[in-house]
Amino acid sequence: MAPPVAYVRPGSTGLLAAALTVAALGCGAQAPPRAGAASGADTAALSPSARAFLATLSAGQRADATFPFADPGRTQWAYVPQARSGVPLKAMNAEQRAAAFALLGSGLSERGTRQARGIIELEGILGELEGLVSRVVLRRDPGLYFTSVFTGTGGAHPWGWRFEGHHLSVNVTELGPHGQLVAPVFMGANPARVPSGPKAGHRLLAAEEDQAFALLGMLDAGQRARATIAAETYGDIVTKSVPKVDPMAFAGLPAAEMTAGQQGQLRRLLDVYAGRMADSSARRQLRRIDEAGFARLHFAWAGAHRPGSPHYYRIHGPTVLVEYDNSQNGANHIHTVWRDLENDFGGDLLRKHYAQQPHRP
């Protein structure tokens, strides 16, 4: 664990840099280690980035960071401030943090990794806006982003990892011959548009909003009425943080009833979300969407048809659900999520893997 250093009020060094030099004050809101942590020997199947991350940790940190793949906590994810398992950034030294971000970058694209870092930075900005930075223990703390690794029995596949904190949850399952599965992926932004300070006007999730309004603007009056499923938003994403999304009825405007230009814009919007993942994972997701029938995707909208007022949309198909909500804090607080309706946390691919690969009980 990094040696304690004095708390530094964010200034010219930047909010994120300052927050990540905070002393390891008992790991803040870290949850206590759970029983049954994975053995340090169960790492044979891990990727180089995962092994490198674990190698930087002390024995105590490794015990906090590693869990058996079968641990029920693997599918318990959250995007609100709360106690979490794993090792937080604030308990890591510079080498360990670099290794944690390298692991994150093995599941996300370069753009996705930049967005994740931006979410962590926004946590410090939110603390400034809420006037909390002078407190010794922060509720809005960029150091409270946790890394957990879930190792397979005997060091075999499957295994996985999670990088998570407020407004960020990246869940990756590694299935050997069946590839890498990056889902669910949650990213949020509060404030969606920074109102003041050095980063005034910054919009971390601008494309998620702008590309959707561009598609809405391309629809004629009848299509827009068909796409609009509610006059008001639901106050958040509908599926919250359930481990598995229950079957949902399709609603809104099907892609089959869009023009070629509108379908092209829907693809661009979908690419915004898929493009957060590592390239190989994104390609597999988009290929599955096409194989299931791109025309079967539905675009649904709720709330205002103009920026600056509460609005919500989703893209729903046989294999995928994307949700976006900007309702809270005067429509300046975005939540977004990508759900793989078949393979979240491994799902059907995991069952296929177990059917084909022998595993010790």
Q: Give, for 189, the enclosing helix (H) or strand (E).
A: strand 180-189
- Rounded Cα distance between 166 and 269, Å, is 24
Tell me if 1 sits within 8 A of 24, measured CB to CB: yes
> What confidence category does residue 21 fall into, taking pLDDT thresholds of 50, 70 and 90?
very low
Q: Residue 36, exposed/middle/buried by CB under 10 A (0-12, 13-18, 19+)?
A: exposed
Q: What is the pLDDT of residues 229-253, one digit of tens each?
A: 999 999 999 999 999 999 999 999 9
Give the pLDDT confidence score for residue 17 in this predicted structure: 39
DSSP-H helix ranges across 219-256: 221-227
pLDDT at 140: 87
Residue type, 169: S
Q: What is the mean pLDDT of residues 113-121?
A: 98
CA triple 304-308-313, angle to 5 deg? 45
> How far is the CA of 197 from the CAs of 115, 124, 129, 153, 339, in angstroms?
20, 12, 9, 50, 34
Task: Point out which residues pair with 66 in neighbouring strands.
Answer: 149
d(CA 96, CA 107): 18
- Residue 82 is classified by DSSP as -
**Packing angle of the helix pair 260-274, 279-293 (nearest 10 deg):** 140
Which residues, listed in sequence order, are joined to residue 147 by a DSSP beta bridge?
Answer: 87, 163
Q: How many angstroms separate the most distant Cα atoms in the chain?
A: 63
Is 90 exceeded by the pLDDT of residue 117? yes
Of 54, 58, 78, the closest CA to residue 67 belongs to 54
In the chain, the amino acid numbered 247 is P
Q: How far apart are CA 151 and CA 122, in angstroms?
A: 31
Phi, psi of 348, deg, nearest 5: -65, -35
Q: CA–CA distance from 234 to each of 124, 244, 310, 313, 327 (Å)?
A: 27, 20, 9, 10, 8
**Phi and psi dihedrals of 311, rounded to 5?**
-150, 155
pLDDT digits (tens, 9 = 90+) for 348-359: 778 766 666 655
d(CA 8, CA 234): 39
Paired tokens of 94 = 């510079």
Per residue in 171-226, pLDDT (tens digit) is: 999 998 889 999 999 999 999 999 999 999 999 999 999 999 999 999 999 999 99
Q: How crowded is the C-beta side of 116, counted as CA atoms within 13 Å?
A: 29
- Rounded percentage of the chain residues whose pLDDT exceeds 90: 77
